[in-house]
Structures are given as C-alpha cells and as structure tokens.
Amino acid sequence: MPTSVIAGADDLITPPSAAQLLADQIAHATLHIIPDAGHLTNLEAEDTFNRLLIERIQSVV
C-alpha cells in the first residue's frame, strides 16, 4: 500500500527521527519532513501538507 509519512522538522512530540524510523519499517514508504512545522503540520504548513496529500492520493487513483 502506498504510504506517506509526513512530519514537521520542529516536531518535539514525534520528532523527524521517529518519522524516519516509521517510514523505514513500511515497504515503499515516502518520508516528507516539512520545514518550519511542528507537531500539527496540517495546520502549521497547510499548503505543503495538502499538496503532499493530494499528490499521494492522485498517485493511487
């Protein structure tokens, strides 16, 4: 199943290293680290988050 792991570069709750670990455990996962975003990437970097989400959805439809 195509999987995107999206994390904020400044996330202190689930740091990028945890996102990397998660992505490494999922075959063919894509990791995206969004600069200048913390734990609420979908709110802090709405445009970037939405673009990544739309790209993932379009890649499987």
pLDDT tens-digit map of 3-61: 999 999 999 999 999 999 999 999 999 999 999 999 999 999 999 999 999 999 999 88
Nearest to 47 by CA among 3, 39, 55: 55
pTM, to two decimals:
0.89
pLDDT band at 1 (very low <50, low <70, confident <90, very high): confident
Number of domains in the chain: 1
User: In this predicted structure, what is the pLDDT of residue 29?
Assistant: 96
Expressed as residue numbers, the domain containing 7 is 3-60
Q: Spell out the alpha helix ranges (H) of the chain.
A: 16-24, 41-44, 46-60
